[in-house]
Amino acid sequence: MPIPSRHRLAGSAAAVLALILTGAGCAAPAGDADTTGIHLSTATPAARGDIDGFTWALYAEPPVLDYLYAFDYPQNTVLANVCESLMRWTPQLTVEPGLAEKASNPDPTTWVYDLRPNVRFHSGATLTADDAVASLNRHLDPELGSYWVEDFKNVASVEKTGPLQVTVHLKTPDALFPQAMANSAGTVANAATMRAQGRRFGTADGGLDCTGPFTLGKWEQGASLRLDRFDGYRGKRAKAGHVDFVFLPDSAARTNALLTGEVDGSFAVPPESLSRFRAADNGTVHQGQSLTTVNLAVSDLGGTLSDVRVRRALMLALDREGFAKGAMRGAATPTNSLVVKDIWRGMPEEPVARELAALPPVKRDLTEAKRLVDEAGARGKKVTVASSPLGPDVALLATAVQDAGRRIGLDMEIRTVAPDAFTALFSDPEARKGLDLFPFTYYLSLSDPLAMYSNFRTGQFENYAGYSSPEYDALVDRATAEYDPARRGVLTARLARMAADAALCLPVAEYPGPMFLNKRITGAPTGISYMYAPWAAEVGAP
Range name among 9-18, 122-131, 232-241, 261-270 with the lowest pLDDT average = 9-18
- CATH code assigned at 93: 3.90.76.10
Q: How would residue 22 be classed by pLDDT, with cut points 50, 70 and 90?
A: very low
- CATH code assigned at 223: 3.40.190.10
184-193, pLDDT tens digit by residue? 999 999 999 9
For residues 385 and 496, state if they share a domain: yes
Q: How would residue 392 be classed by pLDDT, with cut points 50, 70 and 90?
A: low
Please report whether residue 20 resides in a domain. Answer: no
Range name among 91-105, 240-254, 321-335 with the lowest pLDDT average = 321-335
Please report whether residue 218 resides in a domain. Answer: yes
Provide the CA 103 distance to its chain's centre, in angstroms: 25
Q: What are phi and psi of 497, to 5 degrees?
A: -70, -40
Distance CA 101, CA 168 (A): 16
State the CB neighbour count (10 A cutoff) for residue 345. 11
- The closest alpha carbon to 211, from 66, 113, 85, 301, belongs to 85
Query: DSSP character for 380?
Result: T
State the CB neighbour count (10 A cutoff) for residue 377. 11
473-525, pLDDT tens digit by residue? 999 999 999 999 999 999 999 999 999 999 999 999 998 889 999 999 999 99
Please report whether residue 32 resides in a domain. Answer: no
For residues 339 and 282, state if they share a domain: no
For residues 123 and 262, state if they share a domain: no
For residues 308 and 175, state if they share a domain: no
- For residue 390, is pLDDT > 90? no
Name the burial class of residue 124, with classes exposed (0-12), middle (13-18) and buried (19+) by CB atoms within 10 angstroms of its CB. Answer: exposed
Contacts of 8 (CB under 8 A, 6+ apart): 71, 147, 148, 149, 150, 461, 462
Please report whether residue 356 resides in a domain. Answer: yes
- For residue 6, is pLDDT > 60? no
Name the burial class of residue 79, with classes exposed (0-12), middle (13-18) and buried (19+) by CB atoms within 10 angstroms of its CB. Answer: buried
What range does the domain containing 152 cover?
85-192
For residues 362 and 504, state if they share a domain: yes
405-449, pLDDT tens digit by residue? 999 999 999 999 988 788 889 888 999 999 999 999 889 999 999
Dihedral of CA atoms 90, 95, 96, 97 in degrees, nearest 10, equals 130
What total number of domains does the chain contain?
Answer: 3
> Using alpha carbons only, what angle is made at residue 442 by residues 247 and 427, rounded to the nearest 5 degrees?
85
Please report whether residue 203 resides in a domain. Answer: no
Give the SS3 label for residue 280. Answer: coil
Please report whether residue 24 resides in a domain. Answer: no
Distance CA 260, CA 63 (A): 28
| 258-to-31, 34, 92, 253 alpha-carbon distances in Å | 21, 19, 27, 9
309-320, pLDDT tens digit by residue? 999 999 999 999
State the CB neighbour count (10 A cutoff) for residue 162. 12
For residues 91 and 78, state if they share a domain: no
| 74-to-134, 270, 527 alpha-carbon distances in Å | 25, 15, 15
pLDDT score recorded for residue 8: 40
For residues 259 and 229, state if they share a domain: yes
Name the burial class of residue 42, with classes exposed (0-12), middle (13-18) and buried (19+) by CB atoms within 10 angstroms of its CB. Answer: middle
388 in Cβ contact with 419 (< 8 Å) = yes
Please report whether residue 299 resides in a domain. Answer: yes
Give the SS3 label for residue 312. Answer: helix
For residues 472 and 534, state if they share a domain: no
- For residue 331, is pLDDT > 90? no
- For residue 36, is pLDDT > 80? no
pLDDT score recorded for residue 149: 93
For residues 98 and 169, state if they share a domain: yes
Q: How would residue 173 be classed by pLDDT, with cut points 50, 70 and 90?
A: very high
Beta bridge partners of 382: 411
Of 161, 192, 223, which residue is a domain's last? Answer: 192
Element (H, E) at 73: helix 73-79
For residues 41 and 140, state if they share a domain: no
- The closest alpha carbon to 21, from 389, 292, 337, belongs to 292
pLDDT score recorded for residue 391: 65
62-73, pLDDT tens digit by residue? 999 999 999 889
For residues 330 and 450, state if they share a domain: yes
Distance CA 291, CA 289 (A): 7
- CATH code assigned at 457: 3.10.105.10
- The closest alpha carbon to 71, from 445, 335, 472, belongs to 445
For residues 305 and 230, state if they share a domain: no
Please report whether residue 126 resides in a domain. Answer: yes
